[in-house]
């Protein structure tokens, strides 16, 4: 009798602990400068699929789910537009949001909601007509001659209030329909903000603010250049206009995000059209990117002005490997989780998934993957069909069964990853005790030093395409995931050691390792040659006594 009571009590405890865990909202956590997105209390890796800009209608959803399933994605990134939820001022229509959330659950997908409000790619095109048609109430940026620019002013107080009301209504609705089930993981507030062609608003309210002292919270983060205090011009010189515009936009979005979170507290982020990350030090704005957007040089201004935003994230549309690597470095910070909500869909981008997931990104998403008869070529793939999905699916399917585990390892700092460079040169990843030496364009048998055919680049390697992500599971144990790369795991400089066993296998649906064969002989004599199709290897290394 007594035992039964104890058991029942233990069970009740377990059930309530589980309920508490399941009810926990998605949130970001940081430890030792690394980050994780906790979903139902555990790290979650977003293998995302971003829909096209015009796929946010019930009838357009089927091709989204089809592509997301083919991709083996676990999360769909979907716009919700201001014009769509508030076609008339004060009248809200959440029918699309209801359909979206219901169908996502049926499909086993999570969601990231993209709020297309005041700014979408810097323009007002997703605002309702009643906003677009009333520039007196909802003013545009003015140039120094007082001429209106195409982009809404961050000093439009009525615009901010109206956007905020709509956003708060959206968050309230999400809480109502999803507060228990947590299908929606994060919210992007606006889309690729900033202004092209004009460095800042020169309207009266903006000008008055520009002549004020730089706020202390900005000074504390964005290093002063000319004077430690004073006006924007006095402190930041020729960078003042861009920095000021960044502050104004960040403050505007930060207020909207804070109001939304007060109603329903989900992680929130902004994305951005990048400036060249290789221009070091960055030059003052010169019509070469969207001024005021959250480019890497002003992340600190966004952190200061918009504490309600958790992440400033890069949209990656330049496949030059040096640029991609630099962007990953610049946006991955102790105060900024790496999250890549958009990456181009040309096949050359797929290999960068290894670099992102290996570095510990909370997730990644190719942009415009749903089977809608539209292609953003030459930015993305030629056609939006299975040929687009396939290169990304090959990598996603390796991570999909272990996404929780991988996110946990990444949070613990056990993972690294890299993509083949455009220079095709060897690379190296260093782990405690061991180094992975990586070479590209080699066949699977023999050494190039043998000359003749052995020295020729392997067929199918005309374009850079290789990559690898490695997790160190124990002092001498590694999980290697990759394709089109030769991996030699070697003892760290000054030590000796050898590979004892290389198992090729996979993880089953329950996360258990299933060994398929042991690589030995030809398969290890010339390093571990990961083929064009991604593979997973579990390595056991050892050292002689």
Query: 3-class SS at 384?
Result: coil
Question: What sign for the dihedral angle of Cα 153, 158, 161, 163?
Answer: negative
CB of 317 to ligand DGJ, least distance (A): 7
CB of 137 to ligand DGJ, least distance (A): 27
Rounded Cα distance between 97 and 65, Å, is 15
Site string for ligand DGJ, 168-207 (x = CB under 6 A): -----------------------xx---------------
Site for ligand DGJ in 233-292 (CB under 6 A): none
Query: 3-class SS at 457?
Result: coil
Rounded Cα distance between 182 and 185, Å, is 7
Q: How far is CA 247 from the centre of its chain?
A: 23
Site for ligand DGJ in 50-69 (CB under 6 A): 53
Nearest one of 84, 105, 196 to 150, comparing CA atoms: 196
CB of 543 to ligand DGJ, least distance (A): 49
Site for ligand DGJ in 119-158 (CB under 6 A): 121
Pairing, β 184-191 against β 268-273: parallel
Query: Closest CB to ligand DGJ among 163 and 192?
Result: 192
Count CB neighbours of 508 within 10 A.
Answer: 10
Rounded Cα distance between 521 and 525, Å, is 6
Nearest one of 113, 221, 268 to 177, comparing CA atoms: 113
Residue 405 interacts with ligand DGJ (CB under 6 A): yes or no: no
Provide the CB-side half-sphere exposure for 112 (13 A, CA): 36
- For ligand DGJ, which residue has the nearest CB? 376
CB of 82 to ligand DGJ, least distance (A): 15
What H or E segment, with its residue span, contains residue 504?
strand 498-507
Please state whether the peptide bond connecting residue 430 to the residue before it is cis, i.e. omega within 30 degrees of 0. no
C-alpha distance from residue 251 to each of 15, 138, 150, 385, 499 (Å): 43, 17, 20, 40, 54
Size of the site for ligand DGJ (CB under 6 A): 10
Query: Closest CB to ligand DGJ among 264 and 339?
Result: 339
CA angle 266, 38, 468 (to 5 degrees): 120
C-alpha distance from residue 465 to each of 85, 380, 383, 459 (Å): 42, 16, 19, 12
Under DSSP, the state recorded for 433 is T
CB of 235 to ligand DGJ, least distance (A): 31
CB-based contacts of 240: which residues, under 8 Å, 6+ apart?
Answer: 210, 231, 232, 233
Query: 3-class SS at 110?
Result: strand
Site for ligand DGJ in 34-53 (CB under 6 A): 53
CB-based contacts of 283: which residues, under 8 Å, 6+ apart?
Answer: none
Residue 315 interacts with ligand DGJ (CB under 6 A): yes or no: yes
Nearest one of 406, 402, 404, 292 to 356, comparing CA atoms: 406
CB of 315 to ligand DGJ, least distance (A): 5
CB of 15 to ligand DGJ, least distance (A): 43
CB of 351 to ligand DGJ, least distance (A): 21
Query: Closest CB to ligand DGJ among 77 and 485?
Result: 77
Which token pair is 469? 């992500």
Which token pair is 535? 């593979």
Give the CA dihedral 57, 62, 63, 69, nearest 10 degrees: 130
Query: Closest CB to ligand DGJ among 313 and 439?
Result: 313
Residue 443 interacts with ligand DGJ (CB under 6 A): yes or no: no
Site string for ligand DGJ, 65-104 (x = CB under 6 A): ----------------------------------------
Site for ligand DGJ in 377-396 (CB under 6 A): 379
CB of 269 to ligand DGJ, least distance (A): 13
Query: Closest CB to ligand DGJ among 334 and 379?
Result: 379
CB of 347 to ligand DGJ, least distance (A): 17
Query: Closest CB to ligand DGJ among 38 and 85?
Result: 85
Choose, by CB under 6 A, the member of 342, 420, 476, 490 that binds ligand DGJ. 342
List the beta bridge partners of residue 50.
77, 367
Choose, by CB under 6 A, the member of 43, 368, 465, 482 that binds ligand DGJ. 368
Choose, by CB under 6 A, the member of 231, 234, 255, 376 that binds ligand DGJ. 376
- What does residue 325 show for φ and ψ, rounded to 5 degrees? -60, -40
CB of 121 to ligand DGJ, least distance (A): 5
CB of 368 to ligand DGJ, least distance (A): 6
Query: Closest CB to ligand DGJ among 292 and 358?
Result: 292
Binding site for ligand DGJ (CB under 6 A): 53, 121, 191-192, 315, 342, 367-368, 376, 379
């Amino acid at each position: 009798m007594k035992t039964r009571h104890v058991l029942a009590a233990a069970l009740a405890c377990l059930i309530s602990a589980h309920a508490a865990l399941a009810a926990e909202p998605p949130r970001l956590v940081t430890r030792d400068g690394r980050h994780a997105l906790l979903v139902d209390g555990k790290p979650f890796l977003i293998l995302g699929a971003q829909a096209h800009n015009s796929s946010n209608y019930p009838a357009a959803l089927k091709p989204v789910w089809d592509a997301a399933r083919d991709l083996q994605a676990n999360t769909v990134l979907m716009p919700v537009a201001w014009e769509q939820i508030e076609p008339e001022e004060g009248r809200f229509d959440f029918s699309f949001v209801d359909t979206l959330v219901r169908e996502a659950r049926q499909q086993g997908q999570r969601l990231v909601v993209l709020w297309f409000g005041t700014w979408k790619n810097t323009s007002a095109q997703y605002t309702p007509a009643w906003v677009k048609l009333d520039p007196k109430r909802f003013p545009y940026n003015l140039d120094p001659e007082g001429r209106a620019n195409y982009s809404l002013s961050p000093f439009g107080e009525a615009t901010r209030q109206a956007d905020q009301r709509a956003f708060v209504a959206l968050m309230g609705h999400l809480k109502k329909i999803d507060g228990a089930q947590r299908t929606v993981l994060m919210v992007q507030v606006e889309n690729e903000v900033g202004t092209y062609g004009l460095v800042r608003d020169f309207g009266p309210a903006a000008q008055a603010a520009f002549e004020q002292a730089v706020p202390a919270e900005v000074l504390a983060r964005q290093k002063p250049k000319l004077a430690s205090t004073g006006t924007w011009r006095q402190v930041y010189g020729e960078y003042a206009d861009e920095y000021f515009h960044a502050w104004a936009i960040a403050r505007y979005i930060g207020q909207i995000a804070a109001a939304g979170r007060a109603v329903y507290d989900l992680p929130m982020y902004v994305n951005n059209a990048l400036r060249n990350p290789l221009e070091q030090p960055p030059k003052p704005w010169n019509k070469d990117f969207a001024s005021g957007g959250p480019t890497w040089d002003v992340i600190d201004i966004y952190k200061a002005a918009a504490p309600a935003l958790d992440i400033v994230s890069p949209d990656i549309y330049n496949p030059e490997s040096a640029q991609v690597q630099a962007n990953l470095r610049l946006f991955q910070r102790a105060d900024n989780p790496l999250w890549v909500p958009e990456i181009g869909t040309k096949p050359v981008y797929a290999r960068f998934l290894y670099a992102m997931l290996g570095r510990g990104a909370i997730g990644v998403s190719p942009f415009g993957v749903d089977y809608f008869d539209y292609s953003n070529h030459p930015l993305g793939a030629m056609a939006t069909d299975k040929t687009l999905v396939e290169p990304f699916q090959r990598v996603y399917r390796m991570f999909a069964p272990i996404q929780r585990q991988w996110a946990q390892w990444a949070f613990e700092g056990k993972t690294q990853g890299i993509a083949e460079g455009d220079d095709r040169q060897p690379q190296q990843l260093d782990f405690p005790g061991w180094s992975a030496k990586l070479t590209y364009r080699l066949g699977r048998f023999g050494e190039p030093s043998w000359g003749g055919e052995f020295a020729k680049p392997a067929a199918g390697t005309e374009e850079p395409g290789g990559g690898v992500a490695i997790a160190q599971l124990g002092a001498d144990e590694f999980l290697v995931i990759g394709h089109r790369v030769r991996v030699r795991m070697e003892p760290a400089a000054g030590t000796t050691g050898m590979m004892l066993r290389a198992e090729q296998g996979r993880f089953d649906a329950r996360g258990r390792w299933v060994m398929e064969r042991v690589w030995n002989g030809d398969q290890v004599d010339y390093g571990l040659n990961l083929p064009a199709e991604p593979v997973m290897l579990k390595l056991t290394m050892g050292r002689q006594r």
